[in-house]
Amino acid sequence: MCGNRPTSDLDARQDVEDSVLFLRGDAISSPKPIQIILARQLASSLATPILIVDTEGTLIFYNEPAEVILDQRFEETGEMPADAWSGLFAVADEARKPIAQEDRPMMMALSERKPYSRTVWMQCGHREWLHVNITAFPLIGEERQFLGAQMIFWEV
């Protein structure tokens, strides 16, 4: 009841954050901030491909529409470091010149902590190239806490 109440809102938020874990198969990943959990829940309910990364660029979630494009289920891959997930697809500019990993919208949103949008060509594996618009933006919590970034993309 009242005897074990947190002493502040921050303590209450920390209690929630410490107790919420992502489940993936038989493995449990590290606790995630509630804002990331809510972003994941929203992404799960949308028909637009969405990827979510943490502050280090680790891919911590992608939704079913993104699974179709990446040709991999999140439940099978789980979290992936930036160099692994960014290697799943090639990205080229409008002139079809390759775009370096650090110049892609998601990595720019992470490093600069501001939104980036760009129309590019993207290819996953040996599939055909897709002409897509990518918008990536940082996830900033209360008190300007940097939580990671989210990328949404669609065919143009």
- Is 24's pLDDT higher than 50? no
For 43-77, write each residue's pLDDT tens digit: 999 999 999 999 999 999 999 999 988 889 999 99
Instruction: List the domain boundaries for the chain.
Output: 9-155
121 with 92: CB under 8 angstroms? yes
Q: Which CATH superfamily is domain 9-155 in?
A: PAS domain (3.30.450.20)
b/e burial code for range 40-79 (CB count within 10 A of at least 16 → b): beebeeeeebbbbbbeebbbbbbbebbbebbebebeebeb
For 121-133, write each residue's pLDDT tens digit: 999 888 899 999 9
Tell me how far CA of residue 4 lies from CA of 7, 13, 20, 86, in angstroms: 9, 14, 19, 45
pTM over cut 0.85? no
- H helices present in 20-78, as ranges: 34-44, 64-70, 74-77
